[in-house]
Structure 1
């Protein structure tokens, strides 16, 4: 029996809530967990919990993105395709600053919490939240379904919470050093640049990780033709692992 469109939206919200609890909850526990078992062990536990939950969310989204009411359809408008892809490509540059320390993700190098105000942080102190909001805007513009709007509401709510939660954790860890960083940066993109608190240094953006993100965007562009079958396969495989 096929799941109703209303139920698919509800499941999406529940999956996003589960991911938010795992991801933000894991971030909240990081300091105490690292003190008990070490940074590498905690990163592996955290990744083991968060990556499968993220894959399930992505798979569910890909399989149900056109569920619900089609509120608008702008896909045939001239210039819409390059607009959506340009916005998505820019969102990736905000979403993945963690690729700068790629070997810390699988704990090959010891994971560390750092304060820095270089590169993308000069534009926004919380680039992942800005990237997620931009991704939601471009995909909502393209898809136009009520399911997509529910997904965007859940994602943006989680990232707005993460902005508050992230600042709170950094303040507790770094104290005055974080307050100095906060006073010289902004959450809203380019606000600190426009009011003179920051100066963009373009050389800081010329990093190999940015090339990797550009390659990833090109791969995603090519792979979109297989997106429906890939989403179903990801969802089926992830649910099998979670239930086994």
Structure 2
């Protein structure tokens, strides 16, 4: 490839003219570096600006062609998920832990705690717009998307005005509370709305969706590649990753979000889950376009090179030959960030009951109950949460609310890890602890119990 460029270049006629050998044969045997002084042994890039502009462009063109001829064997972007323990500073991680603790404390006081925070006020304001949980879910997603993507688009300008670390603090301080409210509202209302299908009884479906959801987290959280930058301990940068999960898709967060949404929507099967999935997927599809636009502005030709050998659709670049996986590709995943994702994903799954219980206490006043579920002659003691809310958590087979209170409807949320193991959806719930108003002490209803 380089030879073809030499032949076509305007200077090629001069380069191919025969020249007389001015050095004696014996002297030509000596390597050239023996004849150079230390000052003359400068790097090629250091001496290049002293050459004429045409020759400089010519050599750069040849170098670029040589890289392309080797099918992109050299990385233009960064090697993702690299974690070198020898380069880590204990003080940085201590600082990170302290910042994380302060952020969580402030988030609880300012937003989560109903007595001091504004989270409940925010949810109540959106709920006053419509009684439909689908509408509220879409509004929450829309507000988060506008703030999150809007601030991301203003990153270059914001960093110039207030600095990288200050802008990261502003970005996280605004986005995190909105994300918490959106996730919590979905957890609390995921079984509201209209039931569109019921597939929990399909053999093997739970296992298939569990695996899909587990894999989705390897796509969802590439931010673990640079946790110290996320917390602004290190100076935040806009990275151009190229290895690891990026070889499969250039936008792993979008792919992971689609996988997560499809798994949960298929399992839950109601209108609220559909609304949440539509909003989240639409937000991430916009993020694909916006992310490419921002990277193109920041990195220019380097991003175009990465774009040419990667794809948005998973495995597309690999199948059409634009992406060549190295023989030891699996080693790009044997790194601490990916191992951390594995541990955190498993922990999040087993912590689902705690997440559900914690969510029920956000923006509402929970009543803890003990109850017994009878299913096909077997009893399972669980600890659900009964919460005053505008919508009923469970509905009977005819769609009617299962509780009959004069002032409130009640949401019954089952927080138990083995709920999905119950062999049937139809069950009877018996109130075991006297924590309800007198009008509901003898409440016993047939419920549509979702197998989570």
Is the TM-score greater than 0.5?
Answer: yes
Shift of 1:226: 3.5
The 1:39/1:18 distance shift into structure 2, 3 A limit, reads same
Give the structure 2 partner of residue 133 of structure 1. 258
C-alpha distance in 1, partners of 2:292/2:227?
23
* Structure 1 residue 225: Cα displacement: 2.7
Unaligned runs of 5+ in 1: 238-244
Could you say which residue in structure 2 is the equivalent of 1:241?
Answer: none
Q: Deviations over 1:201-226 (max 9, x none)?
A: 22111111111111111112212233
In structure 2, runs of 5+ residues without a counterpart are: 1-126, 366-452
Higher mean C-alpha displacement, 131-140 vs 6-15: 6-15
Which residue of the other structure, out of 152, 157, 165, is the alignment partner of 1:40?
165
Q: 1:165 aligned to 290, 308, 311, which one? A: 290
Contact persistence 2:148–2:175 (CA under 8 A): yes
Q: Measure, in 1, the Cα distance between the counterparts of 2:246 and 2:362.
A: 33
Matched, 1:213 2:338: no
Bigger CA drift: 3-12 or 159-168? 3-12
C-alpha distance 139-3 of structure 1, shift in aligned 2 (>3 A): farther
The secondary structure found in structure 2 opposite 1:46 is helix
Aligned position for 2:141: 16
Is 1:184 the counterpart of 2:309 in the alignment?
yes
Match of 2:322 among 197, 211, 218: 197
Matches within 5 A, 1:61-72: 61-72=186-197
Structure having the larger proportion of residues in strand: 2
Structure 1 Cα separation of the partners of residues 355 and 156 of structure 2: 38
With the length of structure 2 as denominator, give the TM-score of the two structures: 0.50
Of the structure 1 ranges 172-181 and 125-134, higher mean CA displacement relative to structure 2 is found in 172-181
Q: Distance in 1 between matches of 2:178 and 2:236?
A: 21
Deviation at 1:4, TM superposition (A): 11
1:25 aligned partner: 150
- 2:130 touches 2:136 (CA, 8 Å); kept in 1? no
Q: Do the aligned partners of 1:55 and 1:235 also contact (CA within 8 Å) in 2? A: no
Task: Give the drift of 1:5.
Answer: 9.2
Cα 1:31–1:5, aligned 2, differ >3 Å: closer, same or farther?
A: closer
Verify: 1:229 aligned to 2:354, yes or no. no
Once superposed, what is the RMSD of the aligned Cα atoms? Answer: 1.9
Q: Which has the larger radius of gyration?
A: 2
Flag as ranges the 4+ runs of structure 1 deviating above 6 A.
2-5
Displacement of 1:26 in angstroms is: 0.8
SS in 2 for 1:157: helix
Of structures 1 and 2, the one with the larger relative CO (CA 8 A, separation 6+) is 1
Q: What secondary structure, in the 3-state scheme, does the structure 1 residue paired with 2:138 have? A: helix
Classify 1:83/1:175 alpha carbon distance in 2 versus 1 (closer, same or farther; 3 Å): same
Structure-2 change in CA distance of 1:5 and 1:38 (3 Å) = closer
| Distance in 2 separating the partners of 1:214 and 1:5 | 39
SS at match of 2:275: helix
- The equivalent of 1:242 in structure 2 is none
How do 1:94-173 residues align onto structure 2 when only pairs under 5 Å count? Answer: 94-173=219-298
> Counting helix residues as a fraction of each chain, which structure ranks higher?
1
Cα distance between partner residues in 1 of 2:274 and 2:337: 31
Shift of 1:116: 2.3
Q: State the shift of 1:229 in Å.
A: 2.1
Aligned length: 236
1:51 is aligned to: 176
